[in-house]
Every structure is written in C-alpha cells, then in structure tokens.
Amino acid sequence: MAADARLVWDWIKTRGGESQRIYVWGHSLGSAAATLFVKRLCEEDNAPNGVVLEAPLTNVEDASMSHPLSLPFRYLPFFRSFFLASLPEKFDSLNRVGYLSCPLLIVHGLLDRIIPVEQGERMFQAAVSGGRSDPSQVYFEVFPEAGHRQIKSFPKLRLLLRQFIPLSSESQH
C-alpha cells in the first residue's frame, strides 16, 4: 500500500507545482499505511500539509484481538504465536505516529466495534508524546454516535476539516 501511495504522491507532486496543498487520509487499515507512508515522507523532509487518520488502529495485533471475527479464536493459546506473530507486517502505527512532523487530525467513532476508540486515543497520546516539535498540531475528535464507517456522514466532520485545513496550512509556513 505504501508503494502505491508513493506512486500517487510522486504523480501529484510533479503535476501540481510548489503551491499545492496535499493531505493524506487513512481509514482503518489504511491509517496504518498512511502512517508508514507519511513517516517516510517526514524523514525525507517532504511532509504533506496534514494527515487525517479515521478510526486508526494501533497495530495489527491490537486490531485483531478486538475485531469481532476473532472472538472464537483470540482465547486459543496459539492464536497470537501462530497467527499474529507470523504476519510479515505488524502495521505498528503506534510506534510510528510520533515521527509525523506535520499536523495530524485523528477522528474516531465512540461506537466503533471494529477498531475500538481506545486505539484512537492511544494513537493521539503517542503522537503528542512522541517527540514532535509542536504537539499542539495534533487533534483528536470523538464522534459519540458513530461506528466504524459512519464518521463521514456527520456534518461535524466537515466543520472539523474546515478548521484543520487552514491551521495545517499556516503551520507549514
């Protein structure tokens, strides 16, 4: 996913000019790809204007252990060691999010049963305490009536984006 994102990033950068504003948005598992991708961009001093993580997971193990489909398996003694430990990519966003140097907005539904809101809260705490030069550029918003896929239908999201985009653009200058 990160390689695909890089191709799109390069394509946009070559066609848009220097004054363009680019934001990266990741939802659920896509938040892990976005976090990895933007961490790499920040290491290259090529960060986007901002990042939005919607219902982000901390890592694949936490997400798997809380996912409803894992309920019959998560209590088996070999589930973690056999299934989770064998995955080649752990999608460890929790340990990567602190390296993002651009403004960050995390949104999560309180009623999310796929990726619990606690994972979004942990991502926020890791981003704020991860050594960022400006922790005030990290925002976290909970949608009390939203589940995993409903945030985009709330007008509150549009209001948040109208606030976040100008703030993140100002911080880049």
Catalytic residue annotation: 28, 112, 148
Angle 2-16/29-43 helices, nearest 10 degrees?
60
* Rg, C-alpha atoms of the chain: 16
- HEC sequence for 58-96: CCHHHHHHHCHHHCCCCCCCCHHHHHHCCCCCCCCHHHC
Residue linked to tokens 């933007």: 38
Sign of the C-alpha dihedral computed for residues 132, 133, 136 and 139 taken in this order: negative
d(CA 146, CA 88): 32
Amino acid, single-letter form, for residue 159:
L
